[in-house]
A and B are shown apart, each in its own frame.
Chain A
Amino acid sequence: MSLKDKLVSSHIVFQDSLDPDSALYDLRGSAIKTFEEEGFPSKKDEAWKYTSLNSILKENYSLFPTKKETSLDFKDVERYFINDIDTYNIVFVDGVFNAHLSSTTHDGIDVCTLNSALTKPKYKQVIDVYFNKIAKEESLTSLNTAYAKEGAYIYIPKGKVADKPIQIIHFATGSEAATLLQPRNLIVAEENSEVQIIERHQSLSDTAVLTNTVTEIYAGKRAMIDYYKVQNDKLKASLVDTTEIEQHRESVVSVHTFSLGGNITRNNLNYYQKGEYMDSILKGITLIEGKQHVDHNTLVHHIEPNCESHQDYKGIFAESSTGVFNGKVVVEKEAQKTNAYQSNNNILIDDKATINSKPQLEIFADDVRCSHGCTIGQLDESALFYLQSRGIAQKEARALLMYAFANTVLSSVKIPQLKQRITKLIAKKIGVSIGFDI
């Protein structure tokens, strides 16, 4: 039986395990129908032209999170946390919330599990207004909705500032079988609120894992959200990460994606600007090797006037790794005075590495400033010579240049400990031990 058939036929069993009176019952039912009609995306779909999921759909995945909580010792997984700062943590192990590793709160803000938000009456109002409102009815998102049960729920009410960053970590133990995980996150930051979030998906074994995650982010007026995605998973772990963001007047939302590991990684990052004077920031560093594949598919939809968007994606591809950047900017007729910037710069280290870069601008307004630039090249030989002439060995010199290349993305990370961690991960990945820290 194909994975699609298995997912469709297992859905009834899944629904039966949940409360039939829940408002989500019908929603899940119609979502699985959408998935059944559309199936998994294939290379025939324009948006999936350069990314094929075929190789990972063949695995015999277990579909449901196991009921019992898997125990994990903190010391065994500590290295996957940003642990040198105080944070709230929402941790899941094989799709099940792990209270032992988590640190949640309801003190002024809500940092807890989506499952409790979906089932407890006091959250009903927020869920009714925001849940599944921005997510699109397309195949993988619908599949996620059909099985939506667990994930992070973060609610920052009007005027509140989250007093520390929030880490969302999904572990896959892979102890028994190949695992399909479908976390669903909902983040609502109301008017004048602020929050910083770090998200990570981490496999703990060499068993195949496929994560199909959907995150909806709602930024109210003047809300400030900084979201960081750390993608440094094992070689048998694949990820489809869909993030849908709705922004309102004068809000600023940044998403930094650090793609340094995994098998196949597909990022769908979509912004919808519903208001004036706001800024959307999309940044990413991709640094991969072997046969790894990372695809960034972005959309910024400028709907109203006087807004900005800034995209800066840097990619370094070694060996026979492949990258995709598909960045679309739509400026509606009403969205005058839009400033939209997009840049995608890539370095191909080896002859067999590939990058497919496709910027798309659809501009219907006449008084806008939009720019996009895409470069593909090698490390600058004269820069390399400059560093070597100062006594820096070639390997370290190359590392330093790669670091400098990626720096425009790193420099805007607002959590110093996270920045340091990413810097270390990059240094390790390049295979040098010199300190870049300023």
Chain B
Amino acid sequence: MLTVKDLHAGIEEKDILKGINLEIKAGEVHAIMGPNGSGKSTLASVIAGKEEYEVSGGDIHLNEESILEMDPEERAHNGVFLSFQYPVEIPGVSVTNFIKTAINQTRKAKGLEDMPASDMLKMIREKSELLEIDRKFLSRSLNVGFSGGEKKRNEIFQMAMLEPKLAILDETDSGLDIDALRIVANGVNKLKSKDNAVLVITHYQRLLDYIVPDVVHVLMDGKIVKTGGKELAHELEEKGYDWLKEEVNA
């Protein structure tokens, strides 16, 4: 599904990603862990196409096709979804209206007509129930005055509506209490299938108790320094990152 080959990227002459290799197959859940400043969020943004970052080497393929030259919206149309750590507030545009716009813009890009209103409503009802989202919530302005938990739940709601092939969850656990975390994780788990893949980016192992990864990668100083199974996450939780630093430097 996703192949990242020797990816180098940075911002204003500063190298952040220094040769990332990653292979995620359909049906898999991967986690990327690492200390602050290691490049986790940069990797998520570069895959989603944030223009601020300059890719100086390597390639990113989604289903055998390079996406590096694509605008963020084209990547979205091809099935990439990024759940933001800090979702943006859009006053005056309701959650429902925003998601309608996003879906119909994607359909338009694929040469399809707008989704019929009745289908849209049905889908909104189903997905909001899945994430235990209140009806009133859907008519509020997007992210305006939302609590941390509401913002993240709304991100996963959008993911549910857009049905991506590759979902990247960037620090989705930050700012969530345990109940919200469970709801969000349940939502992600229910959306998982053999045809899609999930990349969870997190500092802590907590979320991985709920969204169980098949593969865990450790990112340090712009490189993946260790890859293992889900038990690696527990090891990191126990021992921190310092032992890995020593191992890498040795």
Contacts and interface: CB of A to CB of B under 8 A. Distances in A.
Contact of B72 (A385, A400, A404): A385
Interface in A349-391: 380-383, 385-391
A396 B48 CA distance: 18
Which of B77, B92, B98, B162 has the most chain A CB atoms closer than 10 A to its own CB? B92
Contacts of B87: 386
Interface string B130-160: 0000000001000000000000000000100
B71 A438 contact: no
Contacts of A130: none
A394 B73 contact: yes
Interface residues of A, number: 29
Interface string A406-438: 011011000000000000000000000011111
Contact of A400 (B51, B80, B101, B103): B101
Contacts of A404: 90-93
B202 interface: no
Contact of B162 (A383, A388, A390, A400): A390
Contacts of B162: 390-391
A290 to B, nearest CB: 26
A392 interface: yes
B50 A385 contact: yes
A436 B93 contact: yes
Interface string A254-290: 0000000000000000000000000000000000000
Contacts of A383: 88, 90
Nearest to B164: A391
A396 B105 contact: yes
A386 B101 contact: no
A381 B52 contact: yes
A404 B52 CA distance: 23
Contacts of B213: none
B109 interface: yes
A403 interface: yes
B108 to A, nearest CB: 8
B88 A382 contact: yes
A437 B92 contact: no
Interface string B192-222: 0000000000000000000000000000000
Contact of B101 (A381, A396, A401): A396
A389 B82 contact: yes
Interface string B99-121: 00111011001000000000000
A393 B77 CA distance: 10
B97 to A, nearest CB: 6
Contacts of A382: 88
A173 B179 CA distance: 66
Contacts of B186: none
B97 A438 contact: yes
B92 A391 contact: no
Contacts of A403: 92-93
B38 interface: no
A437 B93 CA distance: 8
Contacts of A380: 88
Contacts of B88: 380, 382-383, 386-387
B158 A407 contact: no
B49 interface: yes
A389 B76 contact: yes
Nearest to B76: A391
A408 B91 contact: yes
Contacts of B109: 391, 393
Contacts of B241: none
Nearest to A401: B90
A411 B105 contact: no
B101 to A, nearest CB: 6
B92 A407 contact: yes
Contacts of A386: 84, 87-88
A391 B90 contact: no
A392 B76 CA distance: 9
Choose among B45, B48, B50, B94 the residue with the greatest number of A CB atoms under 10 Å from its CB: B50
Given A385-B51, A386-B87, A437-B97, A392 B105 contact: yes
Contacts of A387: 88, 90
A438 B48 CA distance: 28
B88 to A, nearest CB: 4
Contact of A392 (B51, B73, B75, B94): B73
A393 B105 CA distance: 7
23 contacts: A381-B51, A382-B88, A385-B51, A387-B90, A388-B72, A388-B73, A389-B49, A389-B81, A389-B82, A391-B102, A391-B105, A391-B106, A392-B73, A393-B109, A397-B73, A401-B90, A403-B92, A404-B90, A407-B92, A434-B105, A437-B97, A438-B92, A438-B93
Interface of A: 380-383, 385-394, 396-397, 400-401, 403-404, 407-408, 410-411, 434-438
Given A385-B45, A404-B92, 19 more contacts: A381-B52, A382-B88, A385-B51, A389-B72, A389-B76, A390-B76, A390-B98, A392-B101, A393-B73, A393-B109, A397-B73, A400-B93, A400-B101, A403-B92, A403-B93, A404-B93, A408-B91, A410-B92, A438-B139
